[in-house]
Amino acid sequence: MHPVGAVHEFHEPAYAQNWAERFVPTPPRQALFDLIVEQLTNRALPSNHIVELGIGPGYLALEILGRSRIPSMTYEGVDFSEAMFAIARSRLVDFADHVVYTQADLTDADWTARLSQTPGAIVSTWALHDLGAEAHIASVYARARAVLPPGGLLINGDFVKPDESPFEYELGRITPSRHEELLRAAGFRDVQRLAYLEKNIDHPTSANNYACFAGIA
């Protein structure tokens, strides 16, 4: 049996387009977006600049830009795929004046140096597992902690391996407990598991088992 996971070709325009069309948010995935929008709306952030790691086709970005009501918000989507930027640009056309696209590989140490301004929050959904290794997730958490000012918020919703799973998962799908340990080790406080959605221990697929974590810088 193959490890639970998926292989992507995010740099290929046709693959990216087809994948984006299949990735249209389902009701449980929408629940994750609702949670993130609520977190951003209910907190006083140290800056109104929101950075998303792995903006992809822009589904989360559309929700945040359309609904979070952060005054004078600016949004920065980080991704390594030009093909994904093209799809996100078209989805977010109504917010074009407020969105910046920053090309960077999140496995490189210098992605924070490429940000256009200091973020008040860093968000991500279903992206960090694609970095392919726990060490890369730990590095992203550490760099996010370093670039966020005191009171800044990190929220990451991502595919996980259930703590109690007997199955092998691709290496970027780590357990919820490990995410929490890595966030604390990076220096985040008030680390919380906000949700665990579509949990399925016995019948895992590449599309179920995702959880959302938050920490304060």
Ligand X SMILES: C[S@@+](CC[C@H](N)C(=O)[O-])C[C@H]1O[C@@H](n2cnc3c(N)ncnc32)[C@H](O)[C@@H]1O
212 scored as a contact of ligand X (CB under 6 A): no
* Binding map of ligand X across residues 6-25, x = CB under 6 A, - = no contact: ----x---------------
Residue choice 32, 106, 144, 160 for contact with ligand X (CB under 6 A): 106
Count of residues that bind ligand X according to CB under 6 A: 20
Give Cα separations from 161 to 76, 150, 165, 213 (angstroms). 29, 31, 7, 14
Half-sphere exposure of 197 (CA within 13 A, CB side): 22
Q: What are phi and psi of 114, to 5 degrees?
A: -85, -10
Q: Report the residue number, 189 or 205, with the smaller CB distance to ligand X.
A: 205
CB of 56 to ligand X, least distance (A): 3
156 scored as a contact of ligand X (CB under 6 A): no
Residue choice 37, 40, 45, 59 for contact with ligand X (CB under 6 A): 59
Residue 47 CB contacts under 8 Å (≥ 6 apart), including other chains? 117, 118, 119, 120, 149, 152
CB of 166 to ligand X, least distance (A): 26
Task: Read off the DSSP letter of residue 183.
Answer: H
170 scored as a contact of ligand X (CB under 6 A): no
